[in-house]
Structure 1
């Protein structure tokens, strides 16, 4: 056991040699972790839409996707795009991101508010449902009708007013109501309204229900292409024949629709690492084919009047960041944020690797060399003693030598330093011989 003991690496000495420097480097890394480009928050607030709306349904899907990366996304209901814009702009509302319909603002206003776009996500057609024995072919048919356009927060009224203007009509020429979609739909079914104007993805339960309700017609925008030329934020989309129910052939023909797009909008203070994470989630949620878009059409950096953030542009050109393709979000984010610190750490580690081994050697040998001071004090005491006191002093120094030798014999050092230990023991014997001469 003794042989094993003396051949083992001295962990205690290594800790004392390496420990202070390692703690210093660790303190630097930890400080940099919190001070250099802080990590993204683990809780975010998302402003969606009304209960059971397409906005709320999609927002909950985003919450599920982000939860896979240990990020909690709290979904808040709202009246729609206009309210979402206000909440994102107002930093005191603590809303980080939300859905905003294209056409709700303009680039200059968005820049002044500090808003950024992560891209467009899906089409939100203008659905005009009506009850009539004959088909409506123009906006003239709406004159004098009772029409619900939803609350101001939806932004539908603003868009509907623009559509009326290009058809040479005034808002006063129709009877507008601004009830929420669910009670308005009930009133429409009961015959208390002549038409409903909505803007929503076809995923909305109300839209799907109305498309299959007997006696309810859908307005066909035969001039859809002309509308998109007048309003660049609109797109011409087609609701294909039979897409709702192929077996029942609903709808019985193709319908031309004009459509804004839902965009993912955030404040410019949103952490850059989260942008890529949201877009990866968007690709899973909106990347497939649906009633109105083809596979891979969304998410997209088109169809948005708000400037697309640079990090988002990189995603659309080359996909997720390199590290996020192979590592977890938090690990890749740590490496991306800390690469400067890690380089500095490597630069420090190289010279320190040359300093620490000598410190370790010095610590081992210092346990031996410090006894030479004791031996020198014994010799000095003998040399300075007068003749009368020399014998007594020699006896005292002999006891001291015995104590030194006993302590030295208890030293535990690695075998590679045994030469220094045995040299010390031989020097103790040498001094002992000098003291014995004086006895």
Structure 2
């Protein structure tokens, strides 16, 4: 009757408690996952320095920012004069460092102590395009002797690259006259005869080049000896603009043109943490499907001062972000996943060593206890369990002073061993769950103490 009255009800209450506990645990786990696990770009909070607001890379930056915003990221796109200004902004001024990324033309000098790093290169290189009025014959660099050349805005990658080329010993004698101008202004000046050439460094399919070439009736100049000039620098290579690429009807260009090409690197500063770097690499992978395949850069001159970041190297090796980088960005910001693995290995080794040390100490206590019990057995001629005391005949006793002294010393040794066992039981190196083994040893020691104490009292002595 009691079982019928209380058994089922008690079971229902127990199951209800278990269900409530499970729901509470799931709620706690969901809250932890919500605030700590991330599959989006919520940890991306940075700026990106691009270049001219009308340029291709500013448009790329806008697309990346839009992608990030859709998944809780924030990327502020900043228009600049170009690569030189981008490097200066990344390096910071007066100790002020802003988390940022930047598109930087390879070959632009980077301060060695600025702490800048490279994250990779964009799949499509930039081309050095020299535009002149249609119909002007320029077959070799010698035909440009004394020419005036617009080399883009001051602080731009175009300016830097052109000055590098103009300082070449082969071109110095041409007495070229470089000057800085805005991109569209220098195209207009070429049309009006105020400049002989206008230099642009940007992607070949940039809409700005197509617009300027058609609006101002310009043609791409490709001196035949440009191949020899380009092949001298590992960070430059040769590309081709096919005939009619910008306008099939005119056509622009009229024939295939060989042009110098240079990679566009993605750089960042020390203010950008690992989670933000990996998030930006993921953005680039979504925007450019071949981004991982085309990286790391094989021969980037700027990497001499801005080496490839560890996060980027791991990203390209793995073909994408590691699980910890994707879902636990707060964790990898504290320490790289590789170091978390080392830490886990170190903790495992520490626990194993602690367990081995505890077992060794337990073995020594057991060995000492057995040695003391053998002394007890030799002293009494009996076993060491309390039950043996009950079998002692009434006349059994320790009679000689020497045996009594040995028994008292043995009792002190047992107490010392018991205290040692108790101390090790509370030790920090004793693993959880091993306490029962120490308590068992302690109980055996106390049993031996009780037997020896009773024997001393029986023999007319006083147990200490």
Q: TM-score, normalised by structure 1?
A: 0.62
Partner of 2:309: 309
**For 1:226, which of 219, 225, 228 is the aligned residue?**
228
Question: For residue 44 of structure 1, what is the aligned residue in structure 2?
Answer: 46
- Contact 1:89–1:267 (Cα < 8 Å) also in 2: yes
| Structure 2 portions without partners, runs of 5+ | 349-464
- SS at 2:231 equivalent: helix
**How far does residue 55 in structure 1 lie from its aligned partner after superposition?**
1.9
Picking from 67, 71, 74, the partner of 1:72 is 74
1:104 to 104, 108, 111: 108
1:185 maps to which residue? 187
SS of alignment partner, residue 173 of structure 1: coil
What is residue 404 of structure 2 aligned with on the other side?
none
Please give the alpha-carbon distance, in whole angstroms, between the structure 2 residues aligned to 1:66 and 1:303. 30
SS of the aligned residue for 2:280 comes to: helix
- CA shift for structure 1 position 113: 1.4
Structure 1 residue 230, shift from structure 2 partner: 2.0
Change (3 A) 1:317 1:42: closer
In structure 2, distance between residues paired with 1:209 and 1:104: 27
Shift of 1:231: 1.9
CA distance in 1, matches of 2:333, 2:270: 19
- Helix, strand or coil for the counterpart of 1:55? helix
Q: What does residue 386 of structure 1 align with?
A: none
**Structure 1 counterpart of 2:329:** 333
Task: Please tell me whether residue 118 in structure 1 is matched to residue 122 in structure 2.
Answer: no
Match of 1:241 in 2: 243
The whole-number CA distance in structure 2 between the counterparts of 1:171 and 1:14 is: 89
The total of aligned residue pairs comes to 322
CA RMSD of aligned residues (A): 4.2
Work out which of the residue numbers 145, 157, 160 in structure 2 matches 1:143: 145
Comparing 223-232 with 257-266, which one deviates more in the overlay? 223-232
Write out per-residue CA displacement over residues 36-81 of structure 1, whole angstroms, 9 at most, x where no aligned residue.
xxx9844211111111111211111111222243111001111110
Deviations 1:204-230 (CA, angstroms, capped at 9, x unpaired): 332112343574221114334322332
Residue by residue over 1:249-272, the C-alpha shift from the partner in whole angstroms, topping out at 9 and shown as x without a partner, is 543322111112111000134222
CA displacement, residues 400-426 of structure 1 (integer Å, 9 cap, x when unaligned): xxxxxxxxxxxxxxxxxxxxxxxxxxx
Assess if the C-alpha contact under 8 Å between 1:52 and 1:204 holds in 2. Answer: no
In the superposition, the TM-score normalised over structure 2's length comes to: 0.59
- Separation in 2, partners of 1:53, 1:76: 12
Residue 127 of structure 1 is matched in structure 2 by 129
Distance 2:133 2:214 in 1: 13
C-alpha distance 204-72 of structure 1, shift in aligned 2 (>3 A): same
1:335 to 1:43, Cα distance in 2 relative to 1, 3 A:
closer
Residue 432 (structure 1) aligns with: none
Which has the higher relative contact order, 1 or 2, with Cα contacts under 8 A spaced 6 or more apart? 1
Q: What aligned pairs does 1:6-21 form with structure 2 within 5 A after superposition?
A: 6-9=10-13
Distance 2:216 2:105 in 1: 30
Cα distance change on mapping 1:9 and 1:77 into 2, 3 Å: same
The equivalences for 1:342-353 within 5 A come to none
SS at match of 1:105: coil
For residues 343 and 313 of structure 1, the distance between their equivalents in structure 2, rounded to whole angstroms, comes to: 23
Q: Report the 3-state secondary structure (helix = DSSP H, G, I; strand = E; otherwise coil) of the residue aligned with 2:227.
A: helix
Structure 2 vs 1, CA of residues 250 and 151 (structure 1 numbering), >3 Å: closer, same or farther?
closer
Structure 2 counterparts to residues 159-238 of structure 1, below 5 A: 159-166=161-168, 168-170=170-172, 173-213=175-215, 215-238=217-240
Post-superposition Cα deviations, 1:297-342, rounded to whole Å, max 9, x if no partner, equal: 6454224232211221222233112438xxxx76353676798699
Q: Which whole-Å CA distance do the structure 2 matches of 1:41 and 1:77 have between them?
A: 23
User: How far apart are the structure 2 equivalents of 1:179 and 1:253?
Assistant: 28
Evaluate the alpha carbon distance shift between residue 241 and residue 153 of structure 1 in structure 2; reply closer, same or farther with a 3 A threshold: same
Tell me the CA shift for residue 124 of structure 1: 1.1
| 1:274-313 → structure 2 map (5 Å cutoff) | 274-287=276-289, 298-305=294-301, 306=303, 307-313=307-313
Unaligned runs of 5+ in 1: 289-294, 348-439
Residue 244 of structure 1 deviates from its aligned partner by 3.1
